[in-house]
């Protein structure tokens, strides 16, 4: 089993979900994060004082997939999340050494 993690733009989630579901990948966990990367932040002014905001709102999505579905998962996320402008994020995967479904206790 593999663990696929991607950092994406919040507004691309619906497309990513759509792509994943289209490939029958239904297991998915989404976390709100603040991130920095190549994309620059912005500045806020509050009561006359400038504040640099260099952590932007992003989403972290995480999927546990079978070895053979890894490429499907990655390409689905890439298709859904890509806008070709800075801030699209990265995607990585890792090995997992065991997965179980809590409801049943079965190994996946």
Residues that bind ligand ADP (CB under 6 A): 7, 27-29, 33, 35-39, 56, 58, 62-64, 86-90, 101, 103
Nearest CA among 101, 99, 103 for reference residue 3: 99
In the list 29, 44, 67, 108, the residue contacting another protein (rule: CB under 8 A) is 44
User: C-alpha 92: how far from its chain's center?
Assistant: 9
- Contact call for residue 37 and another protein (CB under 8 A): no
In the list 1, 5, 13, 64, the residue contacting another protein (rule: CB under 8 A) is 13
Query: What CA–CA distance (Å, rounded) separates 11 from 14?
Result: 7
- Contact call for residue 11 and another protein (CB under 8 A): yes
Query: What CA–CA distance (Å, rounded) separates 19 from 107?
Result: 26
């Amino acid at each position: 089993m593999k663990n696929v993690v991607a950092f994406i733009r919040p507004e691309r989630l619906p497309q990513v979900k759509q792509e994943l579901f289209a490939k029958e990948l239904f297991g998915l966990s989404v976390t709100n994060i603040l991130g920095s990367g190549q994309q620059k932040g912005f500045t806020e002014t509050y009561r006359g004082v400038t504040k640099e905001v260099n952590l932007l709102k992003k989403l972290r999505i995480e999927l546990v997939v079978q070895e053979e579905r890894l490429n499907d998962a990655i390409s689905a996320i890439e298709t859904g999340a890509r806008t070709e402008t800075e801030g699209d994020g990265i995607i990585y995967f890792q090995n997992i050494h065991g997965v179980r479904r809590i409801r049943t206790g079965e190994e996946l």
